[in-house]
């Protein structure tokens, strides 16, 4: 028996384990220090009232023989796919429910979608990047090319027509940089993909943080995107489902390559290798899109947006360069005095008892940058910025 | 962009869609017919009281900021992995919780485990077989070899030492045949796998139906299995979780190949391409393994076992050859008078208003056989056997 030797080419990520160790050591040496964590991308607000109500109701159904649900449709229940289509419709984007595939999270879908593509496609990743995009391609032995995101392009790289690509990863609002593509910029990517016969894998997990009405919340707001883009979305950041696990992927019917429908290929993949998301969590997801549910999550989103705004204003006052902080829960800042990402990590931890994420952990172009998140609580976010002001 | 052309080699399965169409057509032509379905492998009993209680409690936790859970460990929460280890311990099998990976179902794990194996492994499948084993290998372009299960070997084929294999699929109690390997027979497979340096992918999803204490509930009851076997298990059939989605996979620490730990490779796969099962359903899974939960599921299992026994006794009276019916929810019977599987399907539907599953849908060796399941309700199961008696 032979293992998949591509796994041996994976870079071990020591990013979060190194952070954890440094914090543990620091706290052991400084037991009096009240460490504030603005590093993680996990939410802190609990599930909202209407979601909780729907979960209890669904649990009751599962305990009664007359309303019990066994195997559900692998693509997701109609009630949820139609609710997702309705949500997109509210923002002016028409998606048919046959194009929506419910899953246990966008991370799984972004990874698993690679199953339906051939081995010898050329992959284009921005640098810095969410590590899952890179690792999942490495696991199948596919080489990847990069496009530079940096201060010059505001961490929003545009396509280089000379660079060939078959699969293009875009994430907007971006993790880790918080930068958001305009419609015009995204149109350049769509035109480039269509010219190359490429597919854009568009990660829209943070779209709900967008407040600027001129910014696209879905790639399908861009003409031509239905011919070249698959979009991934999630309840994790929108509605606090990081531990509840629910997401969805949109595969337009127009995506035909060599006579093969990508929608049908993905359906075949999902019905063979997946058995649907739990009925209970699908009911919870549908509750998010009721008028009451949407109103509740707006309150949560506003809370996180205000945190982001507090961080952004603090950085503005100090004259620190950053992306994000608006239309995004992430703030990506330039470290001071040419510090490396890790030097700045140590500096912040020791001087301000504050934990963030070194940008270099997301790729070479992240060196000298640092990520803070808006997912903490209000009091700690205010306190964190006070501490940064004192040490800068 | 190129699609994964291996998908074009997949056989479209028309099994269940053809059954559905035939039943729909029959009911349209015969609106008075009370059709009984003993074809599906889905459960009908609702979740038990202690599972429902734990679900409500976990939902409450998720609605409160102090007890809310975000991202959990990709491998599963300690409380559930330790409960699984305890369950195995009750049956005399020692598994460390570090060897247990919680997921959203055994089907996903059986499919996804292939990620960690190299392309050029030789696969050995029994025929007939659960179609997922075949399709997932076809999707990655791997050719498979077969070993015949048939009346002569009681649908329990033994290894042929001349046949080379790297990955061997075994399912016991078997889907679709209901046949169960003895410890002695399973020992032959373990010895064969160890001699070949092969890995057995052991699907134990139906182990809870075993009542005969001499039969192995886990492959790890066989000496040597920790050096060659990965075991998949599920809450679906044990505790009615088909729509709740929870399973687990056991990868022993002893599984080292060329210096690589399969446990570590699977951990890398799961932490990159999966984000853990929902906290809520993991709490539900842990409730199954409490003394109260175990007592409740025994009642459900007894109900299904009694259905299986009713079917088996009916077939005994008619002198019909079958496997399963004991230690399994499936009954796999020889069709009468050399009828093909589909001829018998039509005969049963038209004459007895009864729906089962044609054995040929699981592979060529299933031709002339037919699967009934014990997952229906009592009244209908009794009625179904009365109807069979009348038409035989």
Distance from CA of B103 to the nearest CA of A (A): 11
- What is the residue extent of each domain of chain B? 5-46+293-391, 49-290
**Chain A: residue whose CA lies nearest to B259:** A3
On chain B, the residues whose CB falls within 8 A of the CB of A132 are 272-273
The single-letter DSSP state of residue A325 is: S
Distance from CA of A42 to the nearest CA of B (A): 6
Residue B35, both tokens: 């059709």
Q: At the topology level of CATH, where does B49-290 sit?
A: 3.40.640
Measured CA to CA, the distance from residue B132 to residue B355 in angstroms comes to 22
Say if the Cβ atoms of B7 and A47 lie within 8 Å.
Answer: no
Beta bridge partners of B334: B369
- For residue range B77-127, what is the model confidence (pLDDT) as tens digits? 999 999 999 999 999 999 999 999 999 999 999 999 999 999 999 999 999
Residue range A5-46+293-391 in CATH 3.90.1150.10: yes
Position B40 scores a pLDDT of 76
Nearest to A112 among B72, B240, B273 (CB): B273
ipTM over the 0.85 cut-off: yes
A76 Rama sector, left if φ>0, alpha if ψ -120 to 50, beta otherwise? left
Say if the Cβ atoms of B243 and A63 lie within 8 Å.
Answer: no
On chain A, the residues whose CB falls within 8 A of the CB of B119 are 4
On chain A, the residues whose CB falls within 8 A of the CB of B118 are 2-5
Burial class (CB in 10 A: 0-12, 13-18, 19+), A371: buried
Distance from CA of A77 to the nearest CA of B (A): 11
Measured CA to CA, the distance from residue B186 to residue B201 in angstroms comes to 13
On chain A, the residues whose CB falls within 8 A of the CB of B68 are 44-47, 240, 243
**Chain A: residue whose CA lies nearest to B70:** A243
Q: Are B91 and B211 in contact (CB under 8 A)?
A: no
Residue A80, both tokens: 């949820």
On chain A, the residues whose CB falls within 8 A of the CB of B104 are 104, 245, 275, 277-278
Residue A373: partners with Cβ closer than 8 Å, 6 or more residues away: A38, A39, A40, A41, A329, A330, A331, A357
Position A14 scores a pLDDT of 72
* H helical segments located in A113-182: 131-139
Nearest to B215 by CA among B186, B238, B251, B239: B186
Nearest to B4 among A51, A115, A277 (CB): A115
The dihedrals phi and psi of B317, each to the nearest 5 degrees, come to -60, -35
Position A143 scores a pLDDT of 84
* Strand pairing class (B256-257; B199-203): unpaired
A59 touches chain B (CB under 8 A): yes
B198 touches chain A (CB under 8 A): yes
Say if the Cβ atoms of B7 and A52 lie within 8 Å.
Answer: no
Position B11 scores a pLDDT of 84
Residue A226, both tokens: 């239905």
Mean pLDDT by 10 residues, chain A (392 residues): 94 83 96 92 94 98 97 96 98 97 97 96 97 95 95 98 96 98 98 97 98 98 98 97 98 96 96 96 98 98 97 97 98 96 97 97 97 95 97 90
Mean pLDDT by 10 residues, chain B (392 residues): 94 83 95 92 94 98 97 96 98 97 97 96 97 95 95 98 96 98 98 97 98 98 98 97 98 96 96 96 98 98 97 97 98 96 97 97 97 95 97 90
Distance from CA of A15 to the nearest CA of B (A): 14
Provide CATH code, domain A68-290. Answer: 3.40.640.10
Measured CA to CA, the distance from residue B121 to residue A321 in angstroms comes to 52
Position B15 scores a pLDDT of 85
Position B14 scores a pLDDT of 72
Nearest to B272 among A45, A136, A166 (CB): A136
Say if the Cβ atoms of B2 and A120 lie within 8 Å.
Answer: yes
Count of A-B CB contacts under 8 Å:
229
The dihedrals phi and psi of B288, each to the nearest 5 degrees, come to -60, -35
* Domains B5-46+293-391 and B49-290 in one fold: no
Nearest to A104 by CA among B237, B27, B102, B203: B102
B11 touches chain A (CB under 8 A): no
Say if the Cβ atoms of B272 and A198 lie within 8 Å.
Answer: no
- For residue range B278-290, what is the model confidence (pLDDT) as tens digits? 999 999 999 999 9
On chain B, the residues whose CB falls within 8 A of the CB of A43 are 70
A273 touches chain B (CB under 8 A): yes
Residues 279-308 of B with CB under 8 A from A: 279-281
């Amino acid at each position: 028996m032979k293992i998949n030797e591509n796994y041996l080419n994976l870079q071990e990520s020591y990013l979060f384990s190194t952070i954890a160790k440094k914090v543990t050591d620091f706290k052991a040496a400084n037991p009096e220090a009240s460490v504030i964590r603005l590093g993680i991308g996990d939410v802190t607000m609990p599930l909202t009232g209407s979601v909780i109500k729907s979960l209890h109701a669904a649990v009751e159904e599962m305990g009664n023989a007359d309303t019990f649900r066994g195997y559900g449709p692998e693509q997701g229940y109609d009630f949820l796919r139609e609710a997702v289509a309705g949500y997109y419709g509210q923002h002016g984007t028409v998606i048919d429910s046959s194009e929506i595939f419910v899953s246990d999270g966008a991370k799984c879908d972004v990874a698993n979608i690679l199953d339906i593509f051939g081995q010898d496609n050329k992959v284009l990743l921005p640098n810095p990047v969410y590590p899952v995009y890179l690792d999942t391609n490495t696991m199948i032995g596919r080489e990847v090319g990069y496009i530079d995101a940096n201060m010059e392009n505001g961490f929003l790289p545009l396509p280089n027509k000379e660079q060939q690509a078959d699969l293009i990863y875009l994430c907007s609002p971006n993790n880790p940089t918080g930068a958001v593509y305009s419609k015009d910029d995204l149109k350049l990517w769509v035109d480039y993909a269509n010219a190359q016969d490429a597919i854009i894998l568009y990660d829209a997990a943070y779209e709900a943080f967008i407040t600027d009405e001129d910014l696209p919340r879905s790639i399908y707001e861009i003409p031509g995107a239905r011919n070249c883009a698959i979009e991934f979305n999630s309840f994790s950041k929108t509605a606090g489902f990081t531990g509840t696990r629910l997401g969805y992927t949109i595969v337009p019917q127009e995506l035909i390559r060599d006579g093969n429908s990508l929608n049908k290929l993905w359906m075949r993949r999902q019905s063979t290798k997946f058995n649907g998301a739990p009925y209970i969590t699908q009911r919870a997801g549908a509750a998010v899109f009721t008028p009451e549910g949407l109103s509740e999550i707006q309150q949560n989103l506003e809370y996180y947006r205000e945190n982001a705004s507090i961080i952004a204003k603090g950085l503005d006052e100090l004259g620190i360069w950053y992306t994000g902080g608006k239309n995004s829960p992430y703030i990506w800042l330039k470290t001071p005095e040419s510090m490396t990402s890790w030097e700045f990590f140590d500096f912040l931890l020791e001087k301000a008892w504050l934990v963030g994420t070194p940008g270099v952990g997301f790729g070479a172009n992240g060196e000298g940058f640092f990520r803070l998140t808006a997912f903490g609580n209000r009091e700690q976010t205010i306190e964190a910025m006070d501490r940064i002001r004192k040490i800068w």
